[in-house]
Amino acid sequence: MAHPKRRQSSTRRDKRRTHYKATKPQVAKCAATGESHLYHRAHWHEGALYYKGKVLIEAAAETE
């Protein structure tokens, strides 16, 4: 198995790692409800599940 001949310095290691950054998630605003949510994700609002401004699932009424 191959292995390094010399130990890589912490400076060189850190320079390599500068490109690995966390990015902020993109947030969209629903046209129907005005709620903020992640792109390409369904979200709940007042008992209904919305995706692309359309209702996918409405909460069932509670039966006693």
- Would residue 1 count as lying in a domain? no
pTM of the model: 0.58
User: Is residue 40 a part of any domain in this protein?
Assistant: yes
Examine residue 3 and state whether it is found in any structural domain, yes or no.
Answer: no
Tell me the per-residue pLDDT of 16-37, one tens digit each, with 9 for 90 and over: 999 999 999 999 998 888 999 9
Q: Tell me the C-alpha distance between 40 and 33, whole Å.
A: 16
Q: What share of the chain is helix, strand, coil (3-state, %, to 5)?
A: 10, 30, 60
Tell me whether residue 52 is in a domain: yes
Give CA separation, 26 vs 16, 23, 36, 41, in Å: 26, 9, 10, 11
Query: Residue 33 is part of which domain span?
Result: 24-64
Within-domain flag for 36: yes
Q: Is residue 62 included in any domain, yes or no?
A: yes
- Spatial separation of the C-alpha atoms in residues 18 and 15, rounded to whole Å: 5
Q: Based on the structure, what is the number of domains in the chain?
A: 1
Average pLDDT over residues 46-61: 86
The verdict on residue 61 lying in a domain is yes
